[in-house]
Amino acid sequence: MIKKLFFIVTCWIISISTYAQRLPKALILTGNGNIPALKENYPPWTHDFHNDKVAQLLQGIVDIDTTTDLKDLNSQHLNKYDLLISNSLFLTPGVNELDAVYQFVASGKSLLTLHCGILSFLNWEKYEELIGGIFIGGPSTEPAKFRVYTNNEEFWGYKYQFRKSAEHPVSRSVNDFDTEDELYYFQPVTPEIDVIARAENHPVMWWHPVKKGKVMSLTLGHDLRAKENTGYQELLKNGVRWLTDYPLIYTSKIPNISNRDLTYKNFINAAMLSDENLKDVAIHSIRNPQSLFKLKEGATGQYDLILNGTEGTASYTLSVRNRNGMITSKEQLLSIVEDGKGNMANYYGNVVSGTRSENENPMFCVGNIVDGDLSTRWSSENCNQAFVLLDMKKEYTVKKLVINWEASYAKSYDLLASIDGKNWSKIHTVNNGRGGQETLDISSSVARFIKLDLKEKPPGKRGYSIYELEVL
């Protein structure tokens, strides 16, 4: 039995949305296998699925039908759809229905399991082939709150020689986030598994190919509170977009923008948005608020940011289109600050360089120390001495510098300042550094360039590592 889901959205949500277009079709398969009677050899669990909430989140991305009738799992009916979503628990379709699901995916369509949807189809000998592994534990409610990492940094950013390492497009379109949710534990059985997001060192979202099709699982989203989490919503929406061949807009951390300059050239271009074939993805439109700033298209398709000089926060909406005509939009907030206020180290346009990182993975790059995020860091290569050099693009009066160290701190170092990047003055020396957060008070030095000359590390440390550098 198919039931159509309709919604009226009465509030504006800052999120990715899709303009009016022909939408792919999705079928939600839902229901509790333990209702009306408990199944033999299954745990006595039931679950709420919140299908209305799922459909609301996916409104404008896919055209959704929902069914509780396993007889709808037949080739003739499934051919109407591009995506099958299993938002269910312990459903046990018959042989013909399971075969129809397999053929649906193998022919080039997609299957998405949500939360406990991974625990349906357990009566099938092809279960492991389809899902890519098995459920081995949970649900766990400890820790009650945890961070979800959307970058799958296998082996601490080092590369396996036997496995291609590349960040998944969905990972690149969603930032890390904190949530309160359940954790399921999953054991992969195929090397083709590609982890999209993880928490507590366990995969919480992954995909793998099945013949011509794609199978993706998202095990987060236990209850309505978890589904209200913005990070969860972005994983769900961008996962569905990727499964149904939409373009994705990659996230980027845009720091505070100082009004020291009123024009920032090449602020947006297509190459920043996606690593898909740029012949296939183009900027479709930019809705500009014409308030604190405007985005002006240049001769080569890039957009320049033009400020009016006023500080504050405003947003713009960016839309991209692929060659199939699928359009995705994202609203981006910008914060404009009065020049010389706040942390001058992470103003947009500043440039930071330093001793080579531990490896080539972005998780250790030196730019992390001025991204405004205390969860990211720079980690140097194995060395006795190292440096960090910050170019703030103009002269500022520097009164204080704050260093947030990782465990690999500097025991001895100098702080130097320069106006031209050639002639340096020593403005502070530390001979007994203890790591953690160190605040260096400086007697109003004027500088454009700031340099940390790291001279000595504690015994047993390979190099140096900093979470964040602040110039005040």
Angle, CA 470 vertex, CA 358 and CA 412 arms, to 5°: 60
pLDDT of residue 38 exceeding 60: yes
DSSP state of 24: P
- Return the SS3 of 71: helix
The confidence band for 347, taking pLDDT boundaries of 50, 70 and 90, is very high
Per the listing, tokens 């939360």 go with 115
The confidence band for 363, taking pLDDT boundaries of 50, 70 and 90, is confident
Nearest one of 120, 151, 119 to 136, comparing CA atoms? 119
Q: Which pLDDT does position 276 carry in this prediction?
A: 57
Distance CA 120, CA 90 (A): 4
Q: Which pLDDT does position 360 carry in this prediction?
A: 77
pLDDT, tens only, 132-191: 999 898 888 888 899 999 976 666 667 777 777 778 999 999 999 999 999 999 999 988
Angle, CA 16 vertex, CA 11 and CA 19 arms, to 5°: 85
pLDDT of residue 126 exceeding 60: yes
Average pLDDT value for residue range 232-251:
95
Mean of per-residue pLDDT scores for the chain: 90
Q: Which pLDDT does position 144 carry in this prediction?
A: 86
Q: Which pLDDT does position 11 carry in this prediction?
A: 30
pLDDT, tens only, 386-418: 999 999 999 999 999 999 999 999 999 999 999
Contact assessment for residue 421 and residue 391, using Cβ atoms and an 8 Å cutoff: yes
Amino acid letter, residue 197: A
Q: In this structure, which CATH number among 3.40.190.10, 2.60.120.260, 3.50.50.60, 3.40.640.10 belongs to the domain 344-471?
A: 2.60.120.260
Contacts of 427 (CB under 8 A, 6+ apart): 398, 415, 416, 417, 442, 443, 445, 447
The full set of domain ranges for the chain reads 2-243, 257-337, 344-471
- Return the SS3 of 184: strand
Per the listing, tokens 């081995």 go with 136
- Which pair of structure tokens corresponds to residue 297? 């298209």
Distance CA 423, CA 463 (A): 27
Q: Which pLDDT does position 154 carry in this prediction?
A: 64
pLDDT of residue 46 exceeding 50: yes
Contact assessment for residue 305 and residue 264, using Cβ atoms and an 8 Å cutoff: yes
The answer to which of 137-141, 171-175, 243-247, 340-344 has the lowest mean pLDDT is 137-141
Please tell me which residue, 253 or 295, carries the higher pLDDT value: 295
Amino acid letter, residue 392: M
> 2-243, which class in CATH?
alpha beta
Q: Which pLDDT does position 140 carry in this prediction?
A: 84
Contact assessment for residue 205 and residue 153, using Cβ atoms and an 8 Å cutoff: no
Per the listing, tokens 């995705």 go with 328
Q: How far is CA 399 from CA 51, 444, 445, 447, in A?
A: 55, 5, 7, 10
Nearest one of 26, 32, 15, 43 to 184, comparing CA atoms? 43
Amino acid letter, residue 158: Y
CATH architecture of 257-337: Sandwich (2.60)
Contacts of 161 (CB under 8 A, 6+ apart): none
- Which pair of structure tokens corresponds to residue 240? 């569905």
Q: How far is CA 41 from CA 34, 44, 122, in A?
A: 11, 9, 11
Q: Which pLDDT does position 138 carry in this prediction?
A: 82
Angle, CA 129 vertex, CA 125 and CA 133 arms, to 5°: 100
Q: Which pLDDT does position 164 carry in this prediction?
A: 74
Q: Which pLDDT does position 277 carry in this prediction?
A: 54
Alpha helices in 118-174 (DSSP H): 127-131, 169-173
Q: Which pLDDT does position 61 carry in this prediction?
A: 96
Q: Which pLDDT does position 291 carry in this prediction?
A: 82
pLDDT of residue 18 exceeding 50: no
Q: How far is CA 264 from CA 7, 346, 351, in A?
A: 41, 15, 14
Share of the chain above pLDDT 90, in %: 73
pLDDT, tens only, 273-311: 765 555 678 888 888 877 899 999 887 778 999 999 999
Please tell me which residue, 15 or 351, carries the higher pLDDT value: 351
- Which pair of structure tokens corresponds to residue 167? 């960040």
The confidence band for 22, taking pLDDT boundaries of 50, 70 and 90, is confident
- Which pair of structure tokens corresponds to residue 8? 């009226």
Q: Which pLDDT does position 269 carry in this prediction?
A: 80
Contact assessment for residue 451 and residue 388, using Cβ atoms and an 8 Å cutoff: yes
pLDDT of residue 16 exceeding 60: no
Alpha helices in 117-273 (DSSP H): 127-131, 169-173, 224-227, 230-243, 270-273
Share of the chain above pLDDT 70, in %: 93
Please tell me which residue, 359 or 289, carries the higher pLDDT value: 359
pLDDT of residue 362 exceeding 90: no
Q: Which pLDDT does position 5 carry in this prediction?
A: 37
Nearest one of 408, 414, 410, 404 to 442, comparing CA atoms? 414
For the purposes of burial, counting CB atoms within 10 Å of the CB of 309, is it exposed (0-12), middle (13-18) or buried (19 or more)?
A: exposed
Contact assessment for residue 463 and residue 381, using Cβ atoms and an 8 Å cutoff: yes
